[in-house]
Amino acid sequence: MYIIVVGGGKVGYYLTKSLLEAGHEVLVIEKDVHKSARLMDELGALVLQGDGCDVAAMSQAGMSRADLVVAVTGDDEDNLVVCQVAKHKFNVPRTIARINNPKNEKIFRILGIDSTVSSTELILSQIEQEIPSRSLVHLMTLRNVGVSFIEMEVPPDSPALGRPLRDLGIPDDCILPLIVRGGSQAIIPYGDTILEAGDQVIAVTSEKSEEKIRQIVYG
């Protein structure tokens, strides 16, 4: 694959090295003259000094034959524009953007960026898993279809205790495929299953019903 990396900071540098090791053809574009000179010392002709949002620099980089463009500068707006220009001007089939503000994920998705990676969000999700708070843990999010896999621990004072699942008012676009009881017993629940305190509940839910299922379990 021919992969163009825009942004030659630490992320861009290690990404480029890893992709080269994996046998890909890689070019990294870096705007800063000093940074790109340092990169050239090590990577030679695989570095292009220029503005990765600039159409001329992109042409020079052979953007139109790239299979993938990865934008990993420190600025969300630059990463967005890199991916949009790559997609709409050069018809690059796949674009990946790094985002810093997790809230920007939505706008990137609406605007057609194929994948986003947010280190802020990744660290946040780690913290969610570490602290025994009442928040639900995101196991996985399928962005394209707007579905999340989440995990919740049923608290001792949960309003969901003592009633079968079918009576809890669980939204239609949310299902509970698995309950883990006592840390070891796997239960595939039905409508008459009753939750117990301490149960680990896995839910597959649309983004809009996430808050509703949280209320059902945590009150």
Partner 1 sequence: MRVVILGCGRVGAYLANMLAEAGHQVTVIDKNSLAFNRLGADFPGKTVVGTGIDEDVLRRAGIEQADAFVAVTNGDNTNMMSAQVAREIFGVKRVICRVYDPLRGELYRTLGLETICSTTWAANRIRELLEG
Query: According to the binding rule CB under 8 A, does residue 124 interact with partner 1?
Result: no
Residue 135 DSSP code: S
In this structure, what are the phi and psi dihedrals at residue 67, rounded to the nearest 5 degrees?
-90, -25
Query: According to the binding rule CB under 8 A, does residue 101 interact with partner 1?
Result: yes
Query: According to the binding rule CB under 8 A, does residue 119 interact with partner 1?
Result: no
Residue 136 DSSP code: P
Distances (CA, A) of 43 to 12, 27, 48: 12, 9, 10
Query: According to the binding rule CB under 8 A, does residue 57 interact with partner 1?
Result: no
d(CA 206, CA 166): 18
Region binding partner 1 by CB under 8 A among candidate stretches 19-27, 105-113, 133-141, 165-173:
105-113
Region binding partner 1 by CB under 8 A among candidate stretches 38-46, 97-105, 166-174, 199-207:
97-105
Q: How far is the CB of 78 from partner 1 (least distance, A)?
A: 5
Query: According to the binding rule CB under 8 A, does residue 121 interact with partner 1?
Result: no
Residue 4 contacts residue 68 (beta carbons within 8 Å) = yes
In this structure, what are the phi and psi dihedrals at residue 160, rounded to the nearest 5 degrees?
-85, -5
Binding site for partner 1 (CB under 8 A): 53-56, 75-78, 80-81, 84-85, 88-89, 101, 103-104, 106-107, 110-111
